[in-house]
Amino acid sequence: MQRLLTGLQPSGALHIGNYFGALKPFAEMYAEYESYLMVVDYHALTSLRNGDELRGNIKNVVRDYLAVGVDPAKAIIFQQSQVQEHTEFAWVLECLVTVSFLELGHAYKDKVAKGIEATAGLFNYPMLMAADILLYDTDVVPVGEDQRQHLEYAREAAAKFNKAYGETLKEPKELIQKSVAVVPGTDGKKMSKSYGNTIPLFGTKDEISKAVMSIVTDSGGDKPEHVFAIHKLLKTETELAPLYEDNQGKYKALKDALIEDLDALIAPMREKRSAITDAEVKKVLDEGSAKAREKAASKMREVRQKVGVAL
Protein backbone atom coordinates (compact mmCIF):
# COMPACT_ATOMS: atom_id res chain seq x y z
CA MET A 1 0.00 0.00 0.00
CA GLN A 2 1.43 3.38 -1.00
CA ARG A 3 1.84 6.12 1.59
CA LEU A 4 -0.13 9.34 1.08
CA LEU A 5 0.39 12.58 2.98
CA THR A 6 -1.64 15.75 2.93
CA GLY A 7 -2.03 18.73 5.22
CA LEU A 8 -4.35 21.58 5.97
CA GLN A 9 -3.26 24.89 7.46
CA PRO A 10 -5.30 25.99 10.50
CA SER A 11 -5.52 29.61 9.42
CA GLY A 12 -9.28 30.14 9.74
CA ALA A 13 -12.77 28.87 9.00
CA LEU A 14 -13.06 26.64 5.96
CA HIS A 15 -15.19 27.36 2.91
CA ILE A 16 -16.73 25.13 0.24
CA GLY A 17 -13.65 25.62 -1.94
CA ASN A 18 -11.62 23.82 0.75
CA TYR A 19 -14.25 21.09 0.85
CA PHE A 20 -14.39 20.35 -2.88
CA GLY A 21 -10.68 20.99 -3.42
CA ALA A 22 -9.21 19.10 -0.46
CA LEU A 23 -11.51 17.55 2.15
CA LYS A 24 -13.91 15.69 -0.14
CA PRO A 25 -11.19 14.25 -2.42
CA PHE A 26 -9.22 13.11 0.64
CA ALA A 27 -12.29 11.53 2.25
CA GLU A 28 -12.96 9.61 -0.97
CA MET A 29 -9.44 8.23 -1.42
CA TYR A 30 -7.64 8.02 1.92
CA ALA A 31 -8.68 4.44 2.71
CA GLU A 32 -6.87 3.24 -0.44
CA TYR A 33 -3.52 4.38 1.02
CA GLU A 34 -1.55 4.39 4.23
CA SER A 35 -2.69 7.93 4.87
CA TYR A 36 -1.14 10.68 6.96
CA LEU A 37 -3.25 13.79 7.56
CA MET A 38 -1.30 16.65 9.09
CA VAL A 39 -2.53 19.85 10.75
CA VAL A 40 0.27 22.18 9.61
CA ASP A 41 0.18 24.63 12.51
CA TYR A 42 3.79 25.86 12.13
CA HIS A 43 2.99 26.87 8.56
CA ALA A 44 0.12 28.98 9.89
CA LEU A 45 2.61 31.17 11.79
CA THR A 46 3.49 32.88 8.50
CA SER A 47 0.13 34.64 8.56
CA LEU A 48 -1.48 34.23 12.00
CA ARG A 49 -0.28 36.16 15.04
CA ASN A 50 -2.96 35.23 17.60
CA GLY A 51 -2.23 32.25 19.84
CA ASP A 52 -5.78 31.72 21.06
CA GLU A 53 -7.11 31.87 17.51
CA LEU A 54 -4.55 29.35 16.30
CA ARG A 55 -5.38 26.94 19.14
CA GLY A 56 -9.04 27.11 18.18
CA ASN A 57 -8.27 26.65 14.51
CA ILE A 58 -6.18 23.54 15.18
CA LYS A 59 -9.11 21.89 16.95
CA ASN A 60 -11.49 22.96 14.22
CA VAL A 61 -9.40 21.47 11.40
CA VAL A 62 -9.66 18.08 13.09
CA ARG A 63 -13.40 18.56 13.58
CA ASP A 64 -13.71 19.45 9.90
CA TYR A 65 -12.11 16.23 8.71
CA LEU A 66 -14.03 14.06 11.15
CA ALA A 67 -17.26 15.78 10.11
CA VAL A 68 -16.75 14.96 6.43
CA GLY A 69 -16.29 11.30 7.29
CA VAL A 70 -12.57 10.66 7.83
CA ASP A 71 -12.08 7.80 10.29
CA PRO A 72 -9.06 8.31 12.62
CA ALA A 73 -8.74 4.53 12.84
CA LYS A 74 -7.96 4.46 9.10
CA ALA A 75 -5.66 7.50 8.86
CA ILE A 76 -2.92 8.99 11.03
CA ILE A 77 -4.22 12.45 11.93
CA PHE A 78 -1.49 14.46 13.62
CA GLN A 79 -0.29 17.91 14.62
CA GLN A 80 2.88 19.16 12.93
CA SER A 81 4.19 20.94 16.02
CA GLN A 82 3.95 17.73 18.07
CA VAL A 83 6.60 16.20 15.80
CA GLN A 84 9.74 18.30 16.32
CA GLU A 85 11.63 16.47 13.56
CA HIS A 86 9.79 18.62 11.00
CA THR A 87 11.57 21.85 11.94
CA GLU A 88 14.89 20.09 12.54
CA PHE A 89 14.80 18.44 9.13
CA ALA A 90 13.72 21.69 7.45
CA TRP A 91 16.98 23.29 8.64
CA VAL A 92 19.01 20.47 7.10
CA LEU A 93 17.23 20.96 3.77
CA GLU A 94 17.63 24.75 3.93
CA CYS A 95 21.37 24.19 4.08
CA LEU A 96 21.22 22.39 0.73
CA VAL A 97 19.10 24.68 -1.45
CA THR A 98 20.00 28.13 -2.70
CA VAL A 99 18.32 31.48 -2.17
CA SER A 100 17.88 31.85 -5.94
CA PHE A 101 16.04 28.51 -5.99
CA LEU A 102 13.62 29.62 -3.28
CA GLU A 103 13.10 32.96 -5.02
CA LEU A 104 11.37 31.09 -7.84
CA GLY A 105 8.47 30.17 -5.55
CA HIS A 106 5.13 31.14 -7.06
CA ALA A 107 3.32 31.04 -3.72
CA TYR A 108 5.90 33.32 -2.07
CA LYS A 109 5.75 35.89 -4.86
CA ASP A 110 1.94 35.81 -4.97
CA LYS A 111 1.60 36.35 -1.22
CA VAL A 112 4.11 39.21 -1.15
CA ALA A 113 2.28 40.78 -4.10
CA LYS A 114 -0.92 40.64 -2.02
CA GLY A 115 0.78 42.61 0.75
CA ILE A 116 1.74 39.77 3.10
CA GLU A 117 4.96 40.59 4.96
CA ALA A 118 8.01 38.96 3.32
CA THR A 119 9.28 37.17 6.43
CA ALA A 120 12.07 34.61 6.42
CA GLY A 121 9.49 32.00 7.41
CA LEU A 122 7.35 32.75 4.37
CA PHE A 123 10.42 32.60 2.15
CA ASN A 124 11.61 29.28 3.60
CA TYR A 125 8.09 27.82 3.69
CA PRO A 126 8.80 25.36 0.83
CA MET A 127 11.58 23.67 2.79
CA LEU A 128 9.39 23.09 5.82
CA MET A 129 6.81 21.66 3.44
CA ALA A 130 9.49 19.48 1.85
CA ALA A 131 10.49 18.25 5.32
CA ASP A 132 6.83 17.45 6.06
CA ILE A 133 6.68 15.24 3.00
CA LEU A 134 10.13 13.63 2.97
CA LEU A 135 10.16 12.61 6.65
CA TYR A 136 7.55 9.95 5.98
CA ASP A 137 8.92 8.38 2.78
CA THR A 138 5.76 9.66 1.16
CA ASP A 139 4.79 8.15 -2.19
CA VAL A 140 2.05 10.57 -3.24
CA VAL A 141 0.74 13.98 -2.21
CA PRO A 142 -2.68 15.11 -3.50
CA VAL A 143 -2.38 18.69 -4.77
CA GLY A 144 -4.19 21.01 -7.13
CA GLU A 145 -2.65 21.87 -10.47
CA ASP A 146 -1.62 25.26 -9.05
CA GLN A 147 0.34 23.54 -6.25
CA ARG A 148 2.47 21.29 -8.44
CA GLN A 149 5.57 23.40 -7.69
CA HIS A 150 5.45 22.39 -4.01
CA LEU A 151 6.22 18.80 -5.01
CA GLU A 152 8.95 19.96 -7.37
CA TYR A 153 10.60 21.68 -4.40
CA ALA A 154 10.36 18.50 -2.32
CA ARG A 155 11.84 16.37 -5.09
CA GLU A 156 14.66 18.83 -5.66
CA ALA A 157 15.49 18.90 -1.95
CA ALA A 158 15.47 15.09 -1.83
CA ALA A 159 17.72 14.87 -4.89
CA LYS A 160 20.22 17.34 -3.40
CA PHE A 161 20.33 15.42 -0.12
CA ASN A 162 20.75 12.08 -1.87
CA LYS A 163 23.53 13.45 -4.06
CA ALA A 164 25.39 14.88 -1.06
CA TYR A 165 24.91 12.05 1.42
CA GLY A 166 23.79 8.96 -0.47
CA GLU A 167 20.40 7.51 -1.27
CA THR A 168 18.22 8.31 1.75
CA LEU A 169 15.07 10.17 0.74
CA LYS A 170 12.21 9.03 -1.48
CA GLU A 171 11.17 11.50 -4.17
CA PRO A 172 7.38 11.89 -3.92
CA LYS A 173 4.93 12.20 -6.78
CA GLU A 174 2.05 14.63 -7.00
CA LEU A 175 -1.45 13.20 -7.24
CA ILE A 176 -3.30 15.64 -9.47
CA GLN A 177 -7.01 14.92 -9.57
CA LYS A 178 -8.20 16.13 -12.93
CA SER A 179 -11.82 16.07 -11.82
CA VAL A 180 -11.19 18.59 -9.03
CA ALA A 181 -11.81 22.00 -10.55
CA VAL A 182 -10.95 25.37 -9.09
CA VAL A 183 -13.98 26.44 -7.07
CA PRO A 184 -15.15 29.94 -8.02
CA GLY A 185 -15.93 32.45 -5.33
CA THR A 186 -18.90 34.78 -5.13
CA ASP A 187 -17.06 37.25 -7.39
CA GLY A 188 -15.96 34.67 -9.97
CA LYS A 189 -12.32 34.59 -8.85
CA LYS A 190 -10.89 31.50 -7.16
CA MET A 191 -12.63 31.09 -3.80
CA SER A 192 -10.20 32.32 -1.14
CA LYS A 193 -10.37 33.84 2.33
CA SER A 194 -7.91 36.48 1.17
CA TYR A 195 -10.40 37.62 -1.50
CA GLY A 196 -13.36 37.68 0.89
CA ASN A 197 -15.46 35.76 -1.65
CA THR A 198 -16.21 32.54 0.24
CA ILE A 199 -19.25 30.45 1.13
CA PRO A 200 -18.71 28.97 4.63
CA LEU A 201 -18.46 25.19 4.73
CA PHE A 202 -20.14 24.70 8.09
CA GLY A 203 -22.13 27.92 8.12
CA THR A 204 -25.74 28.21 9.19
CA LYS A 205 -28.38 28.36 6.49
CA ASP A 206 -28.61 32.13 7.01
CA GLU A 207 -24.83 32.47 6.53
CA ILE A 208 -24.98 30.34 3.40
CA SER A 209 -27.90 32.42 2.08
CA LYS A 210 -26.07 35.68 2.66
CA ALA A 211 -23.01 34.44 0.78
CA VAL A 212 -24.98 32.98 -2.14
CA MET A 213 -27.07 36.12 -2.54
CA SER A 214 -23.84 38.11 -2.90
CA ILE A 215 -22.74 36.09 -5.94
CA VAL A 216 -22.06 38.43 -8.85
CA THR A 217 -24.43 37.86 -11.78
CA ASP A 218 -24.30 39.05 -15.36
CA SER A 219 -27.55 40.79 -16.17
CA GLY A 220 -26.89 40.24 -19.87
CA GLY A 221 -27.23 36.45 -19.82
CA ASP A 222 -29.98 33.89 -19.18
CA LYS A 223 -27.74 31.62 -17.09
CA PRO A 224 -25.82 33.32 -14.24
CA GLU A 225 -22.32 32.00 -14.85
CA HIS A 226 -20.93 32.05 -11.31
CA VAL A 227 -24.10 30.61 -9.73
CA PHE A 228 -24.11 27.77 -12.26
CA ALA A 229 -20.38 27.08 -11.77
CA ILE A 230 -20.91 26.51 -8.05
CA HIS A 231 -24.13 24.56 -8.59
CA LYS A 232 -22.29 22.11 -10.88
CA LEU A 233 -20.25 21.01 -7.86
CA LEU A 234 -23.44 19.65 -6.30
CA LYS A 235 -25.35 18.22 -9.25
CA THR A 236 -24.67 17.19 -12.82
CA GLU A 237 -25.38 19.53 -15.71
CA THR A 238 -28.12 17.11 -16.82
CA GLU A 239 -29.81 17.36 -13.45
CA LEU A 240 -29.53 21.15 -13.45
CA ALA A 241 -30.64 21.73 -17.05
CA PRO A 242 -34.45 21.82 -16.37
CA LEU A 243 -34.02 24.20 -13.42
CA TYR A 244 -31.95 26.67 -15.39
CA GLU A 245 -34.11 26.41 -18.51
CA ASP A 246 -37.31 27.04 -16.53
CA ASN A 247 -35.79 30.00 -14.66
CA GLN A 248 -33.91 31.87 -17.37
CA GLY A 249 -33.16 35.35 -16.12
CA LYS A 250 -34.70 34.59 -12.69
CA TYR A 251 -31.53 34.98 -10.69
CA LYS A 252 -33.13 34.98 -7.25
CA ALA A 253 -34.93 31.69 -7.93
CA LEU A 254 -31.69 30.09 -9.08
CA LYS A 255 -29.81 31.39 -6.05
CA ASP A 256 -32.57 30.08 -3.78
CA ALA A 257 -32.20 26.65 -5.39
CA LEU A 258 -28.45 26.76 -4.86
CA ILE A 259 -28.96 27.69 -1.19
CA GLU A 260 -31.23 24.68 -0.67
CA ASP A 261 -28.80 22.29 -2.34
CA LEU A 262 -25.84 23.65 -0.40
CA ASP A 263 -27.67 23.38 2.92
CA ALA A 264 -28.76 19.82 2.09
CA LEU A 265 -25.06 18.94 1.71
CA ILE A 266 -23.78 20.95 4.67
CA ALA A 267 -26.48 20.42 7.34
CA PRO A 268 -25.60 16.77 8.22
CA MET A 269 -21.88 17.58 8.39
CA ARG A 270 -22.58 20.72 10.43
CA GLU A 271 -24.59 18.67 12.94
CA LYS A 272 -21.91 15.98 13.20
CA ARG A 273 -19.18 18.58 13.61
CA SER A 274 -20.99 20.39 16.45
CA ALA A 275 -21.12 17.16 18.47
CA ILE A 276 -17.33 16.58 18.43
CA THR A 277 -15.81 17.60 21.77
CA ASP A 278 -12.41 19.13 22.53
CA ALA A 279 -11.52 15.95 24.43
CA GLU A 280 -12.21 13.82 21.34
CA VAL A 281 -10.07 16.13 19.20
CA LYS A 282 -7.19 15.99 21.69
CA LYS A 283 -7.36 12.19 21.79
CA VAL A 284 -7.21 11.97 17.98
CA LEU A 285 -4.27 14.37 17.76
CA ASP A 286 -2.30 12.84 20.64
CA GLU A 287 -2.66 9.29 19.32
CA GLY A 288 -1.96 10.27 15.73
CA SER A 289 1.01 12.46 16.63
CA ALA A 290 2.58 9.62 18.65
CA LYS A 291 2.42 7.38 15.57
CA ALA A 292 3.80 10.12 13.32
CA ARG A 293 6.66 10.81 15.77
CA GLU A 294 7.69 7.17 15.66
CA LYS A 295 8.03 7.25 11.87
CA ALA A 296 9.64 10.72 11.75
CA ALA A 297 12.13 9.88 14.50
CA SER A 298 13.30 6.82 12.60
CA LYS A 299 13.94 8.84 9.43
CA MET A 300 15.62 11.65 11.38
CA ARG A 301 18.02 9.23 13.06
CA GLU A 302 19.10 8.13 9.60
CA VAL A 303 19.45 11.77 8.44
CA ARG A 304 21.57 12.71 11.47
CA GLN A 305 23.83 9.76 10.83
CA LYS A 306 24.26 10.69 7.17
CA VAL A 307 25.00 14.38 7.73
CA GLY A 308 27.41 13.60 10.56
CA VAL A 309 25.85 15.09 13.68
CA ALA A 310 25.16 11.67 15.23
CA LEU A 311 28.34 10.67 17.10
Annotated active-site residue 190? The verdict is yes
Residue 193 a catalytic site member? yes
Rounded Cα distance, 42 and 190, in Å:
25
Under DSSP, the state recorded for 198 is -
Q: Is 272 a catalytic residue?
A: no
Active-site choice (24, 160, 173, 190): 190
How are strands ordered across the β-sheet holding 173-176?
75-79, 34-39, 3-8, 140-143, 173-176
d(CA 77, CA 115): 33
Q: Which of 160, 193, 210, 232 is catalytic?
A: 193
> Which among 59, 111, 295, 299 is annotated as catalytic?
111
Burial string for 59-77 (b: 16+ CB within 10 Å, else e) reads bbbbbbbbbbebebeebbb
CB 211 within 8 A of CB 203: yes
Pairing mode, strands 173-176 and 140-143: parallel
Active site residue ranges: 111, 190, 193
